Amino acid sequence: MNMSIDTFLRGEKPHHVAAYFATTSLSDAETLAEQNYAEATGDGVRMVVPGDAGRAAFESATGMDPMDFAGDAMGTEGTITKGLTAGDCPARDEGGDHELRIVFAFAEEQNEDVGGLYADGDVIHAYAQCSCGEAYSDKWVAGKK
């Protein structure tokens, strides 16, 4: 992992967002991977950028508003790997192809008043879409997954 994704996953970039796009979900993955804010990863491209720019880049790449996407995914729990490049789709038992297509993630700063995970540290919120169309979410304390 590059320094940017490492610091994001430790909760040290609370005003940034991270995104992952499988190569199959992008029309021009090579051009995106060549940008200084993105990195090629096995089967896709991952980036960490300041919040507004990251949300705009996500919307440009997917045609979806990232917060609407997060809202849709929020109701279904799944597992997204720490590196944001793989997931365990909750619809996998229904058969078919289940490859991670896209991920959008952000960090929420520790808030002891809220309790739960939020009392334990900054929380990474990650939202994914599978190749089957299922949208799902995962969250964990930064640096603990």
CB 129 within 8 A of CB 135: yes
pLDDT in tens, 44-66: 899 999 999 889 988 888 889 99
Distances (CA, A) of 143 to 76, 101, 118: 23, 24, 13
Indicate the pTM of the whole model. Answer: 0.90
Alpha helices in 47-132 (DSSP H): 51-62, 66-73, 117-120
Percentage of the chain lying above the pLDDT 70 cut: 90
Cα–Cα distance measured from residue 20 to residue 2, given in angstroms and rounded to the nearest whole number: 14
Per-residue confidence at 33, pLDDT binned at 50, 70, 90? low
Number of H helices, E strands in the chain: 5, 8
